[in-house]
Amino acid sequence: MRLHRFYLPNTSDAKDQNLGAKSLWVHESGLLAQWQKVLRYKEGQELVLFDDERECLYRIASISKNDSVHLEYVTEYERKFPRKKIYLFWSVLKKDKNDWVLQKATELGVTNFIPLNCERTEKQNFNFERAIKIIIEASEQCGRSDIPRLREPITLGESFKEYESIQKFILEGDGSATELFKDYTELGLYIGPEGGWSPDEKKLFEQSGIKKISLSQFTLRAETAAIAAVSAAFLA
């Protein structure tokens, strides 16, 4: 049977003891509902818990019908992290495209998500809580031991100032991504809106000296471009 992984942040009140304790009590209602009603866990079954410091295998010792599950420690796992630090700057997309980008980019290894409100961004409102939930669930399912960071949307100009020290690339041009990416273990990728960057935004890129890259001879949708760029950065 597949082992499911669950993230419990260090600040969580879901557990009585620190992760790694021989005996652990979990009280968080959302987790209990998932374990009992969705996964239908039984005593003796195992699951993996991870926080910002450790990842451990536990066995279910007892299940209370009311408000707790008692877990017994089995072993500790070696933690897995992305081998590069990738910042994804992308113009907020409409409908479920944001969800898709967050999920797939988390699975690929993006470490920082920076949503942008650009001049041609079609959707200005960004559901931060939903985005966090998607990122955590993707991290749980793909096996990575960290949770990517997400910030509230900012403008293009603000992103240049706040992340000034990061080597940045824009998916617009004919530079070889493979050649440009291979020299960096930390970099930022800019993905524009469906309508493209505005003339003023293009000027900002030129003034900032950000390198241009191309991944395809065809025009890619924004969500496709995001995943293609992230994949190329890790493969280089």
Residues 205, 185 share a domain: yes
Crossing angle (nearest 10°) for helices 97-108 and 222-235: 0
| Residue located via tokens 């003034």 | 207
Residues 193, 98 share a domain: yes
SS3 content of the chain, % helix, strand, coil (to 5): 30, 25, 40
Residues 184, 130 share a domain: yes
At residue 4 the predicted structure's pLDDT band, cuts being 50, 70 and 90, is very high
* Cβ 211 vs Cβ 180: under 8 Å: yes
pLDDT at 44: 96
Q: What is the CATH number of the domain that holds 42?
A: 2.40.240.20
Number of domains in the chain: 2
Among 55, 76, 97, the domain boundary falls at 76
Q: Which of 147, 106, 97 is nearest to 234 (CA)?
A: 106
* Cβ 49 vs Cβ 19: under 8 Å: yes
70-107 tens-digit pLDDT: 999 999 999 999 999 999 999 999 878 999 999 999 99
Residues 31, 112 share a domain: no
pLDDT at 14: 64
- Write down the mean pLDDT value for the chain: 90
Residues 18, 104 share a domain: no
176-229 tens-digit pLDDT: 666 678 889 999 999 999 888 999 999 999 998 888 888 888 888 999 999 999
Among 24, 47, 76, the domain boundary falls at 76
Residues 186, 152 share a domain: yes
Range of the structural domain that residue 57 is part of: 5-76
Among 76, 104, 124, the domain boundary falls at 76
Residues 225, 167 share a domain: yes
Beta strands in the chain (DSSP E): 5-7, 23-26, 46-50, 55-63, 69-76, 85-91, 112-116, 149-150, 168-176, 186-191, 211-214
27-78 tens-digit pLDDT: 888 888 899 889 999 999 999 999 999 999 999 999 987 688 999 999 999 9
pLDDT at 102: 97
Residues 195, 106 share a domain: yes
User: 85-91 and 186-191: which strand pairing?
Assistant: parallel
At residue 125 the predicted structure's pLDDT band, cuts being 50, 70 and 90, is confident
Q: What is the CATH number of the domain that holds 226?
A: 3.40.1280.10
pLDDT at 98: 93
| 8-12, 123-127, 139-143: the lowest-pLDDT one | 8-12
| Residue located via tokens 């209370």 | 64
pLDDT at 64: 85
Residues 160, 106 share a domain: yes
Residues 136, 56 share a domain: no
Residues 174, 65 share a domain: no
Residues 109, 19 share a domain: no
pTM across the whole model = 0.91
**Would you say residue 175 has pLDDT above 60?**
no
